[in-house]
Amino acid sequence: MDMSFGLLVPHFGEHANRRALLDGAVLAESFGFDSLWVRDHLVFEPHAEMEAANIVFFEALTTLSAIGAVTENISLGTGSLVPFRHPVHLAISIATMTRLLGERIILGFGAGTFDHEFELVGMGDLDRVELVRSNAEILRRLFTEDGVTYSDGVYSFEDISIDPKPHEPIPFWYCGATPRSARLAAEYADGWMPGRTTLLTIEKRVETMRELTASNGRAMPTVAVIPPTSIGESHEIAFDGLNIDGLLAWANKRGKWWVKPTSGEFATVEDIEGSLIAGNPDEVIEQVKRFQEAGVEHLVFDLRLTYERWFSSIELLGRHVLPAFR
């Protein structure tokens, strides 16, 4: 099975800057990466186990547009958009991007993590999972129909058309690691991309989606992952400074939807296999093979753990890891 590879770009935290984003995007495309990705927040709160306490955050779609302006063909993905924008406004933004940047958007959507972001815009009492579904339906209709009328108790409008429209269908990926997210991806999405999770969990969710799509007749969603990654010229460089204890503590506290190891708790790096890629190029290649065996088709390297080595990491991945799968 062929694999595609992407990068989460440094548009947040202490290493977010114009050169890192734009020069890094050009470098990634030159090495044959398939996609570049952004996160989405209204009120950014860094994850203490992986990020410094820095609230710099470059807005998702603006960042993708800037990256798209300096690249030619690389796909531009959201991993994931959170449904606090009005979907008609979002449809206009995305359709405009396709005309200016080309038909290369992957629209990853998730329900979001932080309640306060939705409370900020008066949406704190809404079912965010259903908001994702509403966005999927509204966007698809506005991208393909004129005179759209829609009402679901949250959004209501009559006879709305947008122009321009995308020339080609935009893939809609459901982002989330819960059992429900996999079921919803199988029901109406084109792809499934969990956040940080383990290989055991990915294998379980892939099995669920295969069973459901075999039953409902839909195509199997593209399976993608976006694991935190640290690559170095040596094993020691790759692991230097990694907060393994923090990652394990997070897994035991927040990974309630993850498939547990036989011990019942996450106690070792091996227990969280899949939620972290770390090592020298040969070690990373072997870890990527495990994702491939689990059914992953698109792997996005989340380099936030070592954005200070952003450019050298792109080169190590591009020169050594990607060619092993081409």
Q: What is the pLDDT of residues 10-68, one digit of tens each?
A: 999 999 999 999 999 999 999 999 999 999 999 988 877 777 888 999 999 999 999 99
Give the model's pLDDT for residue 217. 98
pLDDT-derived band at 319, boundaries 50, 70, 90: very high
- Which residue has 């059914």 as its token pair? 295
Question: What letter represents residue 50's amino acid?
Answer: M
Residues 91-123: tens digit of each pLDDT: 999 999 999 999 999 999 999 988 999 999 999
- Which residue has 């040969």 as its token pair? 282
| Spatial separation of the C-alpha atoms in residues 68 and 75, rounded to whole Å | 9
pLDDT-derived band at 255, boundaries 50, 70, 90: confident
Give the model's pLDDT for residue 163. 98
- Of 117, 105, 141, nearest to 44 by C-alpha is 117
Domains of the chain, earliest start first: 4-325 (3.20.20.30)
| Spatial separation of the C-alpha atoms in residues 51 and 49, rounded to whole Å | 6
pLDDT at 251 exceeding the cut of 80: yes
Q: How many CA atoms lie within 13 A of 2 on its CB side?
A: 3
Question: What letter represents residue 293's amino acid?
Answer: E
| Spatial separation of the C-alpha atoms in residues 133 and 128, rounded to whole Å | 9
Q: How many CA atoms lie within 13 A of 247 on its CB side?
A: 25
Over the chain, what HEC string results? CCCEEEEECCCECCCCCHHHHHHHHHHHHHCCCCEEEECCCCCCCCCCCCCCCCCCECCHHHHHHHHHHHCCCCEEEEEEECCCCCHHHHHHHHHHHHHHHCCCEEEEEECCCCHHHHHHCCCCCCCHHHHHHHHHHHHHHHHHCCCEEEECCCCEEEEECCCCCCCCCCCEEEECCCHHHHHHHHHHCCEEECCCCCHHHHHHHHHHHHHHHHHHCCCCCEEEECCEEEECCCHHHHHCCCCHHHHHHHHHHHCCCCCCCCCCCCCCHHHHCCCCEEECHHHHHHHHHHHHHCCCCEEEEECHHHHHHHHHHHHHHHHHHHHHHC
Residues 213, 186 contacting (CB under 8 angstroms): yes
Give the model's pLDDT for residue 45. 85
- Which residue has 């200016």 as its token pair? 100
Give the model's pLDDT for residue 49. 72
Give the model's pLDDT for residue 40. 97
| Spatial separation of the C-alpha atoms in residues 82 and 121, rounded to whole Å | 12
- Of 206, 192, 209, nearest to 300 by C-alpha is 192
pLDDT-derived band at 256, boundaries 50, 70, 90: confident
- Of 216, 241, 215, 246, nearest to 230 by C-alpha is 241
pLDDT-derived band at 2, boundaries 50, 70, 90: confident
| Spatial separation of the C-alpha atoms in residues 227 and 39, rounded to whole Å | 13
Count CB-CB contacts under 10 A for residue 298.
Answer: 23
Average pLDDT over residues 270-279: 96
